[in-house]
Structure 1
Amino acid sequence: MTPVPTALLQGASNFRDLGGYATASGQRVRRGHVFRSDHLAGLTPQDQRQLQALGVQHSLDFRGEAECQATPYDIAGVQRVALTIEPTVIARMQALVAQGIVPTTEETVELMRETYRDFVNRNADTYGRFLKHLLEQPTPQVFHCTAGKDRTGFAAALLLSALGVGRDTIEHDYLLTNQLYRRDPRLEGKGHPHVMKVLWQVQPEFLHAAFETIDTQHGGMRDYLHGAIGLSPQEVAELQRMLLED
Structure 2
Amino acid sequence: MSSIGWLDLDGVVNMRDVGGLPTTDGGTIRRGRLLRSDNLQDLTAADIRHLVEVVGVTDVVDLRSDVEYHVEGPGPLTRTELTHHRHSLFRDDEVEVTVADALVLPWQKDGTRERLRSHDDDYWASHYLGYLADRPDSVSAALRVVASSHGATVVHCAAGKDRTGTVVGMALAVAGVPEEEIIADYVATGERIERILDRLRHRPAYSDNLRDRPVEDHLPRAETMARILEVLDERYGGAAGWLHEHGWTPEETELLRTRLRS
1:103 corresponds to: none
Q: Retained in 2: the 8 A contact 1:149–1:201?
A: no
**Structure 1: distance between partners of 2:75 and 2:217:** 24
Any idea what SS the aligned residue of 2:61 has? strand
Structure 2 matches for 1:227-238, cutoff 5 A?
A: 227-228=245-246, 230-238=247-255
Instruction: Say which is worse superposed, 80-89 or 128-137, in terms of deviation.
Output: 80-89
* Cα shift at 1:180: 2.8
Alpha-carbon distance change, 4 to 137 in structure 1, aligned in 2, over 3 angstroms: closer
**Structure 2: distance between partners of 1:81 and 1:192:** 30
1:8 corresponds to: 8
Alpha-carbon distance change, 146 to 156 in structure 1, aligned in 2, over 3 angstroms: same
Any idea what SS the aligned residue of 2:106 has? helix
1:223 corresponds to: 241
Sequence identity (%):
27
Q: Which amino acid aligns with 1:66?
A: V
1:185 corresponds to: 201
Q: Retained in 2: the 8 A contact 1:120–1:210?
A: no
**Structure 2: distance between partners of 1:6 and 1:221:** 25
**Structure 1: distance between partners of 2:156 and 2:122:** 24
Alpha-carbon distance change, 134 to 222 in structure 1, aligned in 2, over 3 angstroms: closer
**Structure 1: distance between partners of 2:220 and 2:68:** 20
* Cα shift at 1:3: 1.5
- Kindly indicate whether residue 140 of structure 2 is the aligned counterpart of residue 128 of structure 1: yes
Q: Retained in 1: the 8 A contact 2:42–2:76?
A: no
Alpha-carbon distance change, 13 to 223 in structure 1, aligned in 2, over 3 angstroms: same
- Kindly indicate whether residue 167 of structure 2 is the aligned counterpart of residue 155 of structure 1: yes
* Cα shift at 1:46: 0.9
2:257 to 232, 240, 243: 240
2:76 corresponds to: 74
Alpha-carbon distance change, 10 to 191 in structure 1, aligned in 2, over 3 angstroms: closer
Q: Retained in 1: the 8 A contact 2:201–2:211?
A: no
**Structure 1: distance between partners of 2:152 and 2:87:** 17
Structure 2 matches for 1:112-127, cutoff 5 A?
A: 112-127=124-139
Alpha-carbon distance change, 6 to 110 in structure 1, aligned in 2, over 3 angstroms: closer
1:92 to 95, 106, 113: 106
Question: CA offsets, 1:107-149, max 9 Å, x none?
Answer: xx84322211212322222111111122222221101000000
TM-score by length of 2: 0.79
**Unmatched runs of 5 consecutive residues or more in structure 1:** 96-108
Alpha-carbon distance change, 212 to 123 in structure 1, aligned in 2, over 3 angstroms: farther
| RMSD between aligned residues | 2.3
**Structure 2: distance between partners of 1:82 and 1:199:** 27
Alpha-carbon distance change, 165 to 188 in structure 1, aligned in 2, over 3 angstroms: farther
TM-score by length of 1: 0.83
Any idea what SS the aligned residue of 2:191 has? helix
Question: CA offsets, 1:88-121, max 9 Å, x none?
Answer: 663428x9xxxxxxxxxxxxx8432221121232
Q: Retained in 2: the 8 A contact 1:41–1:73?
A: yes
**Unmatched runs of 5 consecutive residues or more in structure 2:** 91-96, 109-120
Alpha-carbon distance change, 57 to 112 in structure 1, aligned in 2, over 3 angstroms: same
**Structure 2: distance between partners of 1:188 and 1:218:** 38
